[in-house]
Each structure stands twice: as C-alpha cells, then as structure tokens.
C-alpha cells in the first residue's frame, strides 16, 4: 500500500474532541478510555488520531496539521454547517473555533479551525503552482495587509496583527485605497471581536460597511465583504 502520514495530536480530554469532529462529519473508528485515552477519527481520506494528556493545556497548544483538498469551499461550508447544528452557532473565537476562507500569499486558499484540544487544523486548496512565500510588498498598506494576514492566519498572533493594522490606519501622511481600507477594517474588526472587544469591533465594522466601493473594488474585496456580512449579521456567534 502507498505510504500515509497520520497526525498524532494531544488533548486534555478525549470526548469533547471526538464530539467536535463528529460535528464535522468524521466517523470515530476507534475510541479507548483506559488505560489511557486514545481516539481515531476519519472523514474520507483524512485520518486524525488523538491521545489524552491530563496535564495538557489546550490554550497553550502549538500542535496541528495541514489538510490539502481540491474543494476547500465545500469543506468550509460543510464544517460550518456541522458546527452550527451541533453547537447552535458557528464558533469563531475561543475553543473550538473556525475561521474564514482566505487566499494566502503562499499560493493556497485556506481556512483554520481549532478543536477543543487546541490543535490547529489548516485546510487549504492550491490556487497556484508556486507555494513559496511571496515577497513582502513595499507599498505601505499592501505591506500591512500582507503581514497582518500572516499574523492572523499563520502565526495566530492576534495582538501582533492588531498592532500592524492600527499603525497603518493611524497614518496621516498617506491613505489606503477604498479596497485596502475595507480589508484592513474588516480584519481589524474580526481580530477585535476574537479578542473580546465587541465595542471596538462594532465601530470598525460599521466604518467598513460605510465605505463606497466601485464594482471592481467589490469584486477584489469579495472575501472581506463576505466576512463583513457574516460578522455584522451574526456577531453573537463568536462570543464564547
């Protein structure tokens, strides 16, 4: 048989992790509770294995894996629907959580989700033949967006992303294009909401919604507009 890599991921308690992946459409193909906790979940060709560690702290986890797919839109939609059915909302901060779809600067369209064990599962689809990191843009606001996206969706450093965006938006010597301003405001509002500052998030998202865009700018900012609509229509879904 061909070689296959199976991630072995830690968690503090097995059952909440199994329940999370069940909501995503995974089948639990093995579950052991003693002498130590262990579980295997599978969905098509995706197989993940988990082991329990009583002293493990999920909020400090750095573990995870990358899942490559040829239809990231379908998986994102299916996973969100499963979480909404299981939890009564789509969790966007805390544990567990799922993030938005984005085109990244290394040739993939991806989203991130984090399970109750703190494991970060990145799901992506190649959109380029070149997976090398793109050079950091020199233009002020393109640079800010490039770096902030990496901080949010690669490093998962939300305070770091907030500092980058705030510095860009506070500039008085130059201004972003309407499309850049929209993307900066939506990303900063998203970060604020995920950090628990719902008042700031509301202010930033209202500013973004008030921007006038041309049809071409709206097309270029499609993902940001979709995220804006989601955050303003269902802000309560990220509050736990």
Q: What is the pLDDT of residues 178-229, one digit of tens each?
A: 999 999 999 999 999 989 899 999 999 999 999 999 999 999 999 999 999 9
User: pLDDT-based confidence at 239, cuts 50/70/90?
Assistant: very low
Q: What is the pLDDT of residues 29-63, one digit of tens each?
A: 999 999 999 999 999 999 999 999 989 999 999 89
Work out the end-to-end distance of the chain between its first and last CA atoms, rounded to an integer number of angstroms: 44
Angle of helix 198-209 relative to helix 178-194, nearest 10 degrees, comes to: 160
Q: Return the structure tokens found at 99.
A: 């993030």
| Pairwise CA distance, residues 233 & 172, whole Å | 32
Q: Is the pTM of this model over 0.75?
A: yes
At residue 231, the 3 state secondary structure works out as helix
CB 8 within 8 A of CB 40: no
User: pLDDT-based confidence at 154, cuts 50/70/90?
Assistant: confident
User: pLDDT-based confidence at 234, cuts 50/70/90?
Assistant: low
User: pLDDT-based confidence at 92, cuts 50/70/90?
Assistant: confident
Q: Return the structure tokens found at 151.
A: 């901080």
At residue 218, the 3 state secondary structure works out as helix
Q: What is the rounded radius of gyration, in angstroms, for the C-alpha atoms of the chain?
A: 19
| Pairwise CA distance, residues 127 & 107, whole Å | 5
pLDDT of 237 strictly over 70: no
Give me the chain's average pLDDT, please: 93
């Amino acid at each position: 048989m061909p070689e296959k890599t199976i991630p072995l991921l830690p968690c503090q308690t097995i059952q909440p992790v199994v329940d999370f992946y069940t909501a995503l459409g995974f089948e639990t193909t093995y579950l052991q509770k003693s002498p130590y906790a262990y579980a295997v979940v599978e969905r098509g060709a995706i197989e993940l294995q988990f082991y329990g560690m009583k002293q493990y702290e999920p909020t400090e986890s750095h573990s995870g894996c990358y899942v490559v797919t040829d239809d990231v839109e379908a998986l994102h939609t299916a996973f969100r629907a499963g979480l909404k059915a299981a939890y009564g909302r789509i969790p966007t901060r805390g544990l567990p959580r799922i993030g938005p779809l984005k085109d990244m600067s290394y040739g993939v369209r991806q989203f991130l989700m984090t399970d109750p064990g703190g494991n970060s599962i990145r799901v992506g689809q190649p959109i380029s033949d070149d997976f090398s990191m793109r050079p950091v843009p020199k233009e002020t606001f393109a640079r800010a967006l490039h770096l902030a996206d990496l901080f949010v969706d690669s490093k998962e450093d939300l305070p770091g992303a907030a500092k980058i965006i705030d510095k860009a938006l506070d500039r008085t010597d130059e201004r972003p294009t309407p499309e850049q301003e929209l993307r900066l405001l939506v990303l900063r509002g998203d970060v604020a909401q995920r950090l628990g500052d719902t008042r700031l998030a509301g202010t930033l998202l209202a500013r973004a919604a008030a921007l006038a865009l041309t049809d071409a700018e709206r097309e270029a900012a499609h993902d940001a507009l979709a995220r804006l609509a989601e955050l303003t229509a269902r802000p309560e879904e990220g509050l736990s």
